[in-house]
């Protein structure tokens, strides 16, 4: 569903920002932590760290709006933010 959504709206930057937010703020699972999803999305062709809105929609959303995944016991969220 996410891939289909992306294909339909890839020409609309504000919608794609929300697409990144949605993925950065999801619950995740033990098999696939959200931090892994965020790291993978950082290499997505639509992501550009130099674009402040895009960086905010993925990185800041994960760190600020997903406390359960950011504050995991292994410290991986903090390490990600520090990097």
Predicted confidence (pLDDT) per residue in 14-72, tens digit: 999 999 999 999 998 878 899 999 999 999 999 999 999 999 999 999 999 999 999 99
Q: For position 36, what pLDDT does the model report? A: 96
Q: For position 62, what pLDDT does the model report? A: 97
Q: For position 37, what pLDDT does the model report? A: 96
Domain positions in the chain are 2-82
Give dist(CA 54, CA 76) in Å, integer.
Answer: 21
Give dist(CA 28, CA 10) in Å, integer.
Answer: 24
DSSP, collapsed to helix, strand or coil, labels residue 6 as helix
């Amino acid at each position: 569903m996410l891939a289909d959504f992306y294909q339909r709206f890839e020409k609309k930057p504000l919608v794609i920002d929300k697409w990144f937010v949605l993925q950065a703020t999801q619950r995740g699972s033990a098999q696939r932590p959200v931090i892994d999803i965020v790291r993978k999305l950082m290499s997505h062709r639509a992501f550009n760290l130099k674009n402040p809105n895009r960086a905010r929609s993925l990185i800041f959303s994960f760190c600020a709006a997903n406390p359960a995944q950011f504050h995991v016991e292994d410290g991986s969220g903090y390490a990600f933010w520090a990097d």
